Amino acid sequence: MKGFLKRYRFFLLTILITGALFIINGAIGIRALTVTAYSFKEMLVVLPPIFILLGLLDVWVPRELMVRYMGEDSKMKGIILAFLLGSAAAGPLYGAFPVAAVLMKKGAKFSNILIFIGAWSTTKIPMFLFEVSSLGAKFAVTRLLVDIPGIIIIAYLVCAIIPKEEVEKIYKNIEIM
């Protein structure tokens, strides 16, 4: 029981706060439930296809191949592949984290994982096309040209700041999952 409470403490606290909202102001409580239901429905639409693709990636792509193209010695080819995977992705950012976990499990370098997540969040192809059509090509290209080196710099700075033991701990936790 103690483990259950510890594991789901945020969820249980959220239920308590929502219940308090209903007591204090029913309209706000209903609004909170409406937003929660919408978000939950959106996740149910997005996550199953991502998990199916992850299962296929896990089965079809051998670890050796991932290590060769995105591992410690991948250099520029790992960076480019991380950008391509992240930029070609569709869906909200929370979809990137299960993909990143599978990439880590397959032996991708930590900086390439960070680049992948950065690319997923800022350089998606559909977003770029939308920006070209609504804000102009000059803006879209300028933003992209600023984002690409920015993502790489941030990824390598994060790798330099985080101790190797922490990164190893993250990889061990991924292996357990």
Q: What is the mean pLDDT of residues 65-72?
A: 89
Domain ranges of the chain: 1-46, 61-176
pLDDT value of residue 118: 96
pLDDT value of residue 135: 94
Alpha helices in the chain (DSSP H): 2-7, 9-24, 26-60, 63-70, 75-88, 96-105, 110-122, 125-135, 137-161, 164-176
Q: What would the pLDDT profile of 21-52 be if each residue is shown by its tens digit? A: 888 888 888 898 899 889 888 888 888 888 88
pLDDT value of residue 122: 93
For residues 132 and 50, what is the distance between their CA atoms, to the nearest angstrom?
Answer: 27
pTM confidence score: 0.79
- Quick check: 90 pLDDT over 80? no
Q: Check residue 129 and report its DSSP letter.
A: H
